[in-house]
Structure 1
Amino acid sequence: MTKEQFALHTEEIKYKLYRTALLYLGNEALALDAVDESIYKALCSLKKLRQPEYFDTWIIRILINECYKELKRQKRRGRFDEFPETAEEAFDRLPLKEAIAKLPKDLKEVIILRYFSGYTLVEAAEILQIPQGTAASRQRRALSLLRLELEEEVSK
């Protein structure tokens, strides 16, 4: 993949990258920084990409790692809000926000990639570097936990 192809393809998926980072970090500025840093790291490591058809998976993995680094930095500083008000509009106005925040990290990853970033189950499994069956199990488990949490919310 050439640098020109890299630039064109990154431009095509930049909104998907931003939306994923925003859901992980919950802050527009941090999400933009994470996307910028991920694109920079991907460009620097472009020669390491053996199969260009896996570019999306590769760059999303870099982005997720960058988001986790930022989350760790925020926790160390003690200034960590999981999902502040700047996150996705549709996501913010639902009790779903709190329900997803309560999910374990591994289940939350699958839900964010599948339902908020628009990846298929196969793509989510590749990005998270887990078997497809594991991704499906995590998705089912997360959805059942969310269903329970939201039913509890409605019955209050």
Structure 2
Amino acid sequence: MNKKEFVRQAKIIKNQLYKTAYLYLGNEANALDVVDETIYKGYKALWQLREEEYFTTWMTRILINECKKELKRLSRIKCQESLVTKQSQDYDYDQLPLKEAIRSLPTQLKDVVILRYFSGYTLAEAAKALNIPQGTVVTRQRKALKLLKLELGEEE
């Protein structure tokens, strides 16, 4: 893949990447930053892409890794702020029960739910993006849905 083709493909999937990042991070500014960083890292590592047909999956994998790095960074910042202020933080995120329930899932389960239901990935694509077997995606999906049903069912 040449650089012009990378730019063209990146423009096509940028909105999808943003939606995925927003679901991970819950904040518009952080999601935009992570998408920009993902595109930059993808551009720099373009030579590592072996098959052009997996471009979207490859970029999504980079995005997920960047989201995880950002979440770690944000948690360190929050810990430092709580040590300094000794106050509980008010979160400005949407307080919808589903979003909160998804955020409370373990990372492995949350990854599958976000890719399958919010990014529109098939089982095979999600397995490829997460670098796990398709059967594992099915198992994690089932477990995540069961946990979400329990969590949301208690609130009704």
Letter of the 1:24 partner, please give it.
Y
Give the TM-score normalised by the residue count of structure 2: 0.88
For residues 98 and 2 of structure 1, the distance between their equivalents in structure 2, rounded to whole angstroms, comes to 41
For residues 84 and 110 of structure 1, the distance between their equivalents in structure 2, rounded to whole angstroms, comes to 25
The 5 A counterparts of 1:123-142 are 123-142=125-144
For residues 106 and 143 of structure 2, the distance between their equivalents in structure 1, rounded to whole angstroms, comes to 11
CA deviations over 1:65-94 (Å, ceiling 9, x no partner)? 11111111111111698x843xxxxxx474
SS in 1 for 2:132: coil
Change (3 A) 1:31 1:110: same
| Structure 1 runs (4+) greater than 6 angstroms displaced | none
Q: Which moved more, 1:128-137 or 1:70-79?
A: 70-79
Report the alpha carbon displacement of residue 143 of structure 1 after superposing the two structures with TM: 0.5
Report the alpha carbon displacement of residue 121 of structure 1 after superposing the two structures with TM: 1.3
The unaligned stretches of length 5 or more in structure 1 are 86-91
For residues 60 and 115 of structure 2, the distance between their equivalents in structure 1, rounded to whole angstroms, comes to 10
Report the alpha carbon displacement of residue 21 of structure 1 after superposing the two structures with TM: 0.6
Report the alpha carbon displacement of residue 150 of structure 1 after superposing the two structures with TM: 1.2
The unaligned stretches of length 5 or more in structure 2 are 83-88
Q: Which moved more, 1:43-52 or 1:71-80?
A: 71-80
Q: Does the CA contact (< 8 Å) of 2:18 and 2:32 recur in 1?
A: yes
Q: Does the CA contact (< 8 Å) of 1:26 and 1:84 recur in 2?
A: no
Q: Does the CA contact (< 8 Å) of 1:121 and 1:132 recur in 2?
A: yes
For residues 45 and 98 of structure 2, the distance between their equivalents in structure 1, rounded to whole angstroms, comes to 37
For residues 28 and 103 of structure 2, the distance between their equivalents in structure 1, rounded to whole angstroms, comes to 17
CA deviations over 1:10-59 (Å, ceiling 9, x no partner)? 11111000000111111111111100011011001101111111111111
Q: CA RMSD in A?
A: 1.7
For residues 25 and 94 of structure 1, the distance between their equivalents in structure 2, rounded to whole angstroms, comes to 15
Percent of pairs with identical residues: 61
The 5 A counterparts of 1:4-153 are 4-78=4-78, 84-85=92-93, 92=94, 94-153=96-155
Give the TM-score normalised by the residue count of structure 1: 0.88
